[in-house]
Amino acid sequence: MLTAPQNPGVALAAVRERIRMAAVSAARDPASITLVAVSKGQPAARVREAIRAGQVDFGENYLQEAAGKLAELADEQACWHYIGALQANKTRDVAGLFDWVHTIDRERTARRLSDQRSPHAAPLQVCLQVRLGAEDTKSGVDPDNLRALADVVAGLPRLRLRGLMCIPPEETAPERQRGWFRQLADLRDALNAAGHQLDVLSMGMSGDLEQAIAEGATHVRVGTAVFGARQG
């Protein structure tokens, strides 16, 4: 028998509790961790239910899908994070629609985003996506090239460089998963020691947010655990 999907409010409460428990065991303040609800593949009506349940931050991967949803939800207060692949031909729309971009991995798209961000809007809050584990299928700047990219992005007038983001290789052992998150935290520390002021680590998803929080995640990007299986 078909049943209506559960209201996301119930699942949101469960995910917030997971975040709280993970923060407590890491001796961190749960309020220092932002839940970004990843709403790709979910209709605007589901996002609206989540907003009604107090959720503020949402992540989207696909520009066309996001543009339609944002238009439908224009009457709502929300903070929109772009977490999808960033191609040069998408930067104008991303710069116009989103508050955050987590997936900058090259200078060219960063410069375009800065040039295209309206002077009337707040600066775009950005993270650099780092490719850990040298996986061919993943995007991201390699750790060796991170410092040079950070130096450029920090100097762009309409961007505010906030931190680093990763989608690490999938590990079956939680300790190994945690090792990747530690690598991202170490890279953040090295940049800060070199004079940057990064306060964001965007890492951890439905299956591994506990390990990410243990290593200092400030933004966890959670889709399935909030909304259930994706519909599109």
Ligand X SMILES: *Cc1c(COP(=O)(O)O)cnc(C)c1O
Using alpha carbons, select from 102, 125, 105 the residue that is nearest to residue 114: 125
Q: Which of 61, 116, 145, 183 binds ligand X (CB under 6 A)?
A: 61
Nearer to ligand X, 66 or 222 (CB): 222
Which residues lie across from 34 on neighbouring strands? 219
Q: Does 19 bind ligand X (CB under 6 A)?
A: no
Query: In the structure encoding, which two tokens stand for residue 56, read together?
Result: 């503020």
Q: For residue 117, count other CB atoms closer than 10 A to its CB.
A: 23
Using alpha carbons, select from 134, 122, 84 the residue that is nearest to residue 104: 84
10 Å CB burial of residue 9 (0-12, 13-18, 19+) is: middle
Pair 182, 173: CB distance under 8 Å = no
Q: Which of 83, 126, 128, 191 binds ligand X (CB under 6 A)?
A: 83
Cα distance between residue 185 and residue 163, in whole Å: 10
Stretch that binds ligand X, among 9-17, 110-118, 184-192, 203-211 (CB under 6 A): 203-211
Nearer to ligand X, 187 or 209 (CB): 209
Q: Does 224 bind ligand X (CB under 6 A)?
A: yes
10 Å CB burial of residue 116 (0-12, 13-18, 19+) is: middle
Query: In the structure encoding, which two tokens stand for residue 127, read together?
Result: 């993270």
Stretch that binds ligand X, among 9-17, 70-78, 104-112, 202-210 (CB under 6 A): 202-210
Q: Does 184 bind ligand X (CB under 6 A)?
A: no
Q: Does 220 bind ligand X (CB under 6 A)?
A: no
Stretch that binds ligand X, among 6-14, 64-72, 172-180, 201-209 (CB under 6 A): 201-209
Q: Which of 205, 213, 214, 217 binds ligand X (CB under 6 A)?
A: 205
Placement of tokens 């309020």 in the chain: 31
Cα distance between residue 84 and residue 87, in whole Å: 9
Nearer to ligand X, 83 or 113 (CB): 83
Q: Does 216 bind ligand X (CB under 6 A)?
A: no
Nearer to ligand X, 63 or 83 (CB): 83
Q: Does 139 bind ligand X (CB under 6 A)?
A: no
What is the dihedral sign for C-alpha 25, 27, 31, 36? negative
Q: Does 206 bind ligand X (CB under 6 A)?
A: yes
- Shortest spacing between CB 222 and ligand X, in angstroms: 5
Q: Does 167 bind ligand X (CB under 6 A)?
A: yes
- The residues binding ligand X (CB under 6 A) are 38, 40, 61, 83, 167, 205-207, 221-225
